[in-house]
């Protein structure tokens, strides 16, 4: 079992390091084929990738924060993430199949 932190954002990586998260693999992008049952994946993944983690028997912890509109769409520092109340929240995501 491995713990992954998936982010291409330096502020998010620094935030995780400051919190003392124990991470085995720091990645900018996730290859689902490498995720095994029991792995923990932390990040802000697209919903279909999060569903893939769960379908492979992994756990998905989302880096959640509520940002005002003026802070969206730009890089945030670890300090800004802290100020925005960033936290990890577990999600269990499953697909229901394609709709016509």
pLDDT digits (tens, 9 = 90+) for 46-58: 999 999 999 999 9
Domain assignment present for residue 55? The answer is: yes
Q: Is there a domain that residue 100 lies in?
A: no
**22 assigned to some structural domain:** yes
Number of folded domains in the chain? 1
What pLDDT digit, counting tens, does each position of 5-31 carry?
999 999 999 999 999 999 999 999 999
The parent domain of residue 38 ranges over: 3-91
Band of the pLDDT at 72, cuts 50, 70, 90?
A: confident
Task: Look up the pTM and report it.
Answer: 0.89
**Whether pLDDT at 71 is above 80:** no
**Domain annotation covers residue 96:** no
Burial (Cβ within 10 Å: 0-12, 13-18, ≥19) of residue 21: middle
């Amino acid at each position: 079992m491995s713990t992954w932190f998936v982010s291409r954002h330096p502020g998010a990586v620094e935030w995780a390091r400051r919190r003392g998260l124990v991470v085995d693999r720091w990645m900018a992008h996730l290859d689902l084929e490498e995720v095994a049952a029991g792995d923990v994946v932390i990040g802000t993944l697209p919903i279909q990738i999060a569903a893939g983690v769960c379908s492979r028997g992994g756990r998905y912890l989302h880096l959640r924060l509520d940002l005002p509109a003026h802070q969206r769409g730009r890089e945030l520092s670890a300090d800004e993430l802290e100020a925005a109340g960033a936290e990890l929240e577990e999600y269990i995501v499953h697909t229901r199949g394609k709709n016509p």
